[in-house]
Chain A
């Protein structure tokens, strides 16, 4: 197990008497692209916050590269949820990427050639060089995602966590972001854990999946987890998993639909492939 970059072991989180996470366990290998799939309220954000150390676990533990996480952890990069920057922020895309290098340090950053080159390279890697000098809050949602990904990656983490990065994006921008993440994962051996309420945009890129419902999780290779028996067990009632021309639809079984109400994975609105 020690070669895993991330080990989540039997994590429980209770908030105000409600169980948000219930015995969640899974691990992520270096360079692996993992989808964290579940509807709103399934516990995805809480799980990511536990991994980041922003939320304490009631029970269980999280290991990063085999060690308990320390407060300042350069191993993990993070792109938060539903994030649109203030349009008036006096900051260019390249300034925000630069903050990714050393925002935790004190003092005013000294401009240096080395710093400039690092930022420039990072911007190119995420195809953000052409809007590097634009006011970052005025960029489109997809462009802002690229800048935030560059901000998270420039400090060379080994694990990148992204919370619903596709939520505000149109289908084309979403698939561009996924392609970009898959490429970076491959080229730089960075593990990616990306949360989404819709599995289909990630199918082509995903090595493994953590599927969440009601605070519990099932994990493994995609075809081992996204199956009627595994997901029925997870949801606590019968669901069907349909493969429609390479897209996956998870549909509540006859007679019991209440837990799936509002679960966006059930609707056949996946992108045409």
Chain B
């Protein structure tokens, strides 16, 4: 192995079981997040995704209180939240932010109580940090079947409703006129989003889970003009940032303060952010060029739409 490779991949990286699990789960969750995230961004439901992330904290802290795995808490909390949002009316154009905001507020209120009780009864603040900011290294063997099952449910659901979902994302009216049951499709998608956020929460924490959902998808949408390609690109970006984050976090064990290791979620989220900024560069350069050189006749369609 060359010196650079040795410097990047710290000794023991490829032998560690925690790293194996983290890399596998990270990749699977990145695929789920990419698939769901492209729809979340194009449907303008990022706020709902964020709400599921935060409400995951309620579920996770509740689960800690009754001593079950946090993933169960994320699932239960998010599914309940999804039902509440649907009932309040997330599918009405004006109800969307309202339903999300009301459910989010109630959820975080409960999280405040649960986290207080967690620290009181269990006499530790570690639970709060793990739930809120997560650690993909902390995922145990016993959680793997549940993670795989959830991922499969989300992937199959979105694949089955793919075409009706895509058209109702373009225009609910056009979809309804074709006989697509728009409300049912929207509700199924909301459930997929709730489960995808729970999966993202187990890898990078509840608070940061939206970053994995929205960031790679928003980046991919800038880079490609086809729906399926956007999903594949989002998944690939997600896998890349997860794996790079894992490598950096493993390396950071030697960084100050030594022998603790920086939070892996920090690296993942920062890389997501950097990828999004970089994806804006081609468009920026193009606009720069267009501004310097007078447009040729006839003006390209893109320039007309932006003017």
- The answer to whether A binds B is yes
Chain B positions within 8 Å of A95 at CB level: 226-227
**A80-B171, A92-B226, A140-B301 are known contacts. Are A103 and B180 too (CB-CB below 8 A)?**
yes
Does A72 lie within 8 Å of B225, measured CB to CB?
no
**A86-B42, A107-B160 are known contacts. Are A99 and B166 too (CB-CB below 8 A)?**
yes
A87-121: CB near B (< 8 Å → 1, else 0) gives 11111100110010011111111000000000000
Within the complex, which residue of A76, A106, A151 is in contact with B164, where a contact is CB–CB below 8 Å? A106
**A72-B179, A76-B177, A103-B167 are known contacts. Are A108 and B228 too (CB-CB below 8 A)?**
yes
B202-227: CB near A (< 8 Å → 1, else 0) gives 00000000000000000011101111
Does A135 lie within 8 Å of B225, measured CB to CB?
yes
Measured in the bound complex, the distance between the Cα atoms of B42 and A89 in whole Å is 6
**A80-B177, A91-B225 are known contacts. Are A139 and B161 too (CB-CB below 8 A)?**
no
A133 proximal to B (CB < 8 A): yes
**A73-B179, A90-B226, A91-B226 are known contacts. Are A109 and B163 too (CB-CB below 8 A)?**
yes
B15-35: CB near A (< 8 Å → 1, else 0) gives 000000000000000000000
Does B180 lie within 8 Å of A104, measured CB to CB?
yes
Does A88 lie within 8 Å of B221, measured CB to CB?
yes
Residue on A with the closest CB to B168?
A: A103
Chain B positions within 8 Å of A90 at CB level: 38, 42, 220-221, 224-227, 229-230
Chain A positions within 8 Å of B174 at CB level: 78, 80, 148, 151
Within the complex, which residue of B166, B220, B224 is in contact with A103, where a contact is CB–CB below 8 Å? B166
Chain A positions within 8 Å of B38 at CB level: 90
Chain A positions within 8 Å of B306 at CB level: 87, 138
Does B171 lie within 8 Å of A83, measured CB to CB?
yes
Chain A positions within 8 Å of B290 at CB level: none
Chain A positions within 8 Å of B230 at CB level: 90
Q: What is the CB-to-nearest-CB distance from A40 to chain B, in angstroms, rounded to a whole number?
A: 18
Q: Looking at chain A's contact residues, is the secondary structure mostly helix, strand, loop, or mixed? A: loop
B163-197: CB near A (< 8 Å → 1, else 0) gives 11011001101111111100000000000000000
Chain B positions within 8 Å of A54 at CB level: 173, 176-177
Within the complex, which residue of B159, B163, B173 is in contact with A99, where a contact is CB–CB below 8 Å? B163
Chain B positions within 8 Å of A107 at CB level: 159-160, 162-163
Instruction: Tell me which residues from 218 to 250 in chain B have a Cβ below 8 Å from any Cβ of chain A.
Output: 220-222, 224-230
**A52-B177, A80-B177, A135-B302 are known contacts. Are A85 and B170 too (CB-CB below 8 A)?**
yes
Instruction: Tell me which residues from 227 to 286 in chain B have a Cβ below 8 Å from any Cβ of chain A.
Output: 227-230
B305 proximal to A (CB < 8 A): yes
Q: What is the CB-to-nearest-CB distance from A184 to chain B, in angstroms, rounded to a whole number?
A: 18
Measured in the bound complex, the distance between the Cα atoms of B302 and A143 in whole Å is 11
Query: Can you name 4 extra interface pairs (CB under 8 A) apart from A52-B176, A103-B164, A108-B163?
Result: A80-B177, A104-B178, A104-B179, A138-B302
Can you list 21 contacts pairing A with B, beta carbon distance less than 8 Å?
Answer: A52-B177, A72-B178, A72-B179, A87-B305, A90-B221, A90-B224, A91-B170, A95-B227, A96-B170, A103-B167, A103-B175, A105-B163, A106-B164, A107-B162, A109-B162, A131-B301, A138-B301, A138-B302, A138-B306, A139-B305, A140-B301
